[in-house]
Amino acid sequence: MSAATLEAVLGYCFQNKSLLELALTHRSHSARNNERLEFLGDSVLGTSVSSLLFHRFAKLNEGDLSRVRANLVKQAALADIAQRLGLSEHLRLGEGELKSGGFRRPSILADTLEAILGAIYLDGGFEKAQAVIHQLYEPIVKSIDPQTIGKDAKTLLQEFLQAHKLALPTYTVVATHGAAHSQQFEVACDIAELDIQVQAAGASRRAAEQTAARQALEKAMAAKPAGGARKAVKRARKAAQLTLPVAVAQDAR
């Protein structure tokens, strides 16, 4: 694919084409690579997304804004956008990375996207970079629920139960298996008032609790599908769909 195709997908035409080439050059390819552009692009991306969120969610406090932003600019979200743009076809990788499938690696895709944004900033200024970023993110921002995105399952379950004026769940370690270096934890999550008990396993107590909370949340939503807390249910459902980062971009299509 040609650079022109990529420019068309980005909605930006470079004055200095060598900047785009540099942005696409991974450190495995040459010493002159995209790492400094990535440093710049990471910042520009942060500011543009901050501005987008600031204006769109006028009532969100700074803690929630930070949580939402962190979720939108994390590696998985960026790699997802990079994939949509077909970035992997344009990467300039060293031989080793080419052979080991570097063009699919989320870190390389995310870093390259940031470098491209840094290159647009250098080439056309902040407003141009911001316009590209807003165009990439507007559909994503429309599809998210700022109250839930980036919250873990335990937090979501707690908020769901509070919205229904129910007591908080209890978590109990019911068993541990295996030797010290490869232990498995089994955790039960109880919601007494809804008569829900689920068990889940994980490599740490925390991981097992999160899995159990996710399953308990699904059951709780089924048991309390509507009523006064309809909004909370909708939110929790939307958040559950968004557990896989790829869902963010798919929603946005």
46: Cβ contacts below 8 Å, ≥ 6 apart: 69, 73
HEC sequence for the chain: CCHHHHHHHHCCCCCCHHHHHHHCECCCCCCCCCHHHHHHHHHHHHHHHHHHHHHHCCCCCHHHHHHHHHHHCCHHHHHHHHHHHCHHHCCECCHHHHHCCHHHCHHHHHHHHHHHHHHHHHHHCHHHHHHHHHHHHHHHHHHCCCCCCCCCHHHHHHHHHHHCCCCCCEEEEEEEECCHHHCEEEEEEEEHHHCEEEEEEECCHHHHHHHHHHHHHHHHHHHCCCCCCHHHHHHHHHHHHCCCCHHHHHHHC
If the CB atoms of residues 29 and 224 are measured against its own copies, the closer one turns out to be 29
**Position 39 contacts its own copies (CB under 8 A):** yes
**Position 211 contacts its own copies (CB under 8 A):** no
If the CB atoms of residues 150 and 169 are measured against its own copies, the closer one turns out to be 150
From 3, 13, 40, 246, residue interacting with its own copies (rule: CB under 8 A): 40
If the CB atoms of residues 12 and 185 are measured against its own copies, the closer one turns out to be 12
What's the min distance (Å) between Cβ of 125 and its own copies? 8
Residue 114 counted as an annotated binding residue: yes
Residue 114 annotated among the catalytic residues of the structure: yes
What's the min distance (Å) between Cβ of 159 and its own copies? 22
Residue 38 counted as an annotated binding residue: yes
**Position 30 contacts its own copies (CB under 8 A):** no
Site string (49-88) toward its own copies, x via CB under 8 A? -xx--x-----xxx--xx----------------------
Task: Give me the catalytic one of 7, 21, 35, 42.
Answer: 42
Stretch that binds its own copies, among 79-87, 126-134, 152-160, 216-224 (CB under 8 A): 126-134
Task: Give me the catalytic one of 80, 97, 114, 123.
Answer: 114
**Position 28 contacts its own copies (CB under 8 A):** no
**Position 106 contacts its own copies (CB under 8 A):** no
Tell me how far apart the alpha carbons of residues 123 and 50 are, in angstroms, rounded to a whole number: 22
Instruction: Give the residues across from 190 on adjacent strands.
Output: 170, 197
Residue numbers of the site for its own copies (CB under 8 A)? Answer: 35-36, 38-40, 43-44, 46-47, 50-51, 54, 60-62, 65-66, 121, 125-127, 130
Active site residues: 42, 114
